[in-house]
A and B are shown apart, each in its own frame.
Chain A
Amino acid sequence: MRLYWELFWTFAKMGACTFGGGYAMLPILQREVVEKKGWATDEELTDYYAIGQCTPGVIAVNTATFIGCKYKGWLGGVAATLGVVFPSIIIISVIATFLTNFADIPVVQHALAGVNACVVALIASSVIKLGKSTVKDALTAVIFLVVLVLAFFVGLSPALLILAAGVVGYAAKQIFHYSGGKKGEGN
């Protein structure tokens, strides 16, 4: 029971600290879940984000379900998920009751502009950390660059790009026995 509570509480804290979408939660997930609790690795986190992009639902919620489930089975998944949405229910209810013009308050807008600038730096730092474990050789570097260009400049659908990259990885490893130029990898 204590472990479910720990999952709920850890994810509730993360839900309360996230501004924006699931990407803004990534730096906090890395700190709390990977570095502090050891519930998942950087690589697993990228896996969850990849799957979260192709499956229905909010990415932050899907990632919480994954981590909870990996750590404590399906009940753990439910506990982590309820945790991540709990602060939203409280905070939004309070704001909707008392501050319907919340988003128009100048000080809120200024503070948010500051937060958003900070989030840019946090995401950049997270990408560098993740890249160290996911971009390992020439092929993964090419996949990274091609997907970045197609997503940012062309605006292709993330789900499509993820699926295509999975197919490329499968073909390279299983069909062409690509080894990335490092011994011990591939077959």
Chain B
Amino acid sequence: MVLLRLFFEFAKTGLFAVGGGLATIPFLQDLGARTGWFTNSELTTMIAVSESTPGPMGVNMATYVGFKIAGVHHIPGVIGAAVATLGLIFPSIVIILIIAGFLQKFRQSKAVEAVFYGLRPASTALIASAGLTVAAAVLVTVGGEAVHTLAIHWPALILAAAVFIAMRYTPLKKLHPIVFIGVSALLGAVLRF
């Protein structure tokens, strides 16, 4: 039964892919190679679509792959999409519920508080690092024609700076983040970023 297999394969991916959505890619490559459900070039398309549609990337990947595989087996795609996604999130739901129960119990403990005291600035730094990675990809191009050149994408840089200033130092900071995202999408499309 291909749906069971789909659930199981994605549960395995969900269990072993630690970190963000990008961590699922090597597992999906392996899955494609073992089952022949999709090729590497189809996977590249799926990654591109997952990155360019709303939703967490790892979830989008599972949804897309599930949809395609169901189609191969003449099952409505949306069922495959749902089964793969539920498979992906199943192990982490179980693990997080256990950890959350533990946390609620030991929240007041001085030892746990001490661990989190060190952990929180590290977590903040990792988020900053992820932001820098996105910034490096979006705002500048390293390399190019000569090796040590650094091309700045001025429109993107100006837009990022404008959004940052608007949402921190002007009355616009009351606006929902999605407004900024929507306006930026529109500007990007109209001005051909």
Contact = CB atoms under 8 A, between A and B. Distances in A.
B78 A89 contact: yes
A143 B127 contact: no
Contacts of B155: 117
A123 to B, nearest CB: 4
A69 B100 contact: yes
B146 interface: no
B152 interface: no
Contacts of B168: 125, 128
Contacts of B17: 56-58
Interface in A23-79: 23-28, 31, 43, 46-47, 49-51, 53-62, 65-66, 69-70, 74, 77-78
B181 A57 contact: no
B118 A166 contact: yes
Interface size class of B (residues with CB under 8 A): 35 or more
B116 A172 contact: no
A61 B91 CA distance: 11
Interface of A is mostly: helix
A169 B118 contact: yes
Contacts of B119: 47, 50, 162, 165-166, 169
Given A92-B81, A118-B159, A46 B92 contact: no
Contact of A127 (B122, B127, B178, B188): B127
Interface of B: 14-22, 24, 45, 48-60, 63-64, 67-68, 77-78, 81-82, 85, 88-89, 91-93, 95-97, 99-101, 103-104, 110-111, 113-135, 137-139, 155-157, 159-164, 167-168, 176-178, 180-181, 183-189, 191-193
